[in-house]
């Protein structure tokens, strides 16, 4: 199981939960299962999010493994430049 800390506006899509747990071996599985388990997150996941694993932010790295015991944060994707 992966414990995921939800950041910012993502918390409102899970009824205010700041952390959730899902079974996932990589980022693709993580995002898929979050969308299945928390339908309120699906629109935000479709718009794009960033995943931080042990302090490193990944974008579109679908098959990046999530090692057991990792610190995982889900963040709304920031736009701008």
Please state the rounded mean pLDDT for residues 31-36: 97
Per-residue model confidence (pLDDT) at position 28: 97
Asked if residue 77 has pLDDT above 80, the reply is no
The CA distance from 43 to 2, in Å, is 21
Asked if residue 81 has pLDDT above 60, the reply is no
Q: For 45, list phi and psi in degrees, rounded to 5.
A: -65, -40
Tokens in use for 29? 């599985």
Alpha helices by DSSP H, listed for 1-81, are 27-37, 42-47
Per-residue model confidence (pLDDT) at position 67: 96
Strands 72-76 and 2-6: parallel
Go through the domains of the chain in sequence order and give each one's CATH number. 2-76 (3.10.20.30)
Please state the rounded mean pLDDT for residues 36-62: 93
Share of the chain above pLDDT 70, in %: 95
In the numeric block, the tokens 């999010």 are attached to: 49
Please state the rounded mean pLDDT for residues 60-73: 94
Per-residue model confidence (pLDDT) at position 79: 65
């Amino acid at each position: 199981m992966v414990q995921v800390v939800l950041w910012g506006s993502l918390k409102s899509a899970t009824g205010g939960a700041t952390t959730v747990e899902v079974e996932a071996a990589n980022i693709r599985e993580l995002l898929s299962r979050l969308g299945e388990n928390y339908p309120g997150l699906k629109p935000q996941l479709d718009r794009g999010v960033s995943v931080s694993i042990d302090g490193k932010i990944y974008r579109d790295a679908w098959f990046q493994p999530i090692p057991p015991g990792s610190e995982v944060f889900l963040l709304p994707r920031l736009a701008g430049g």
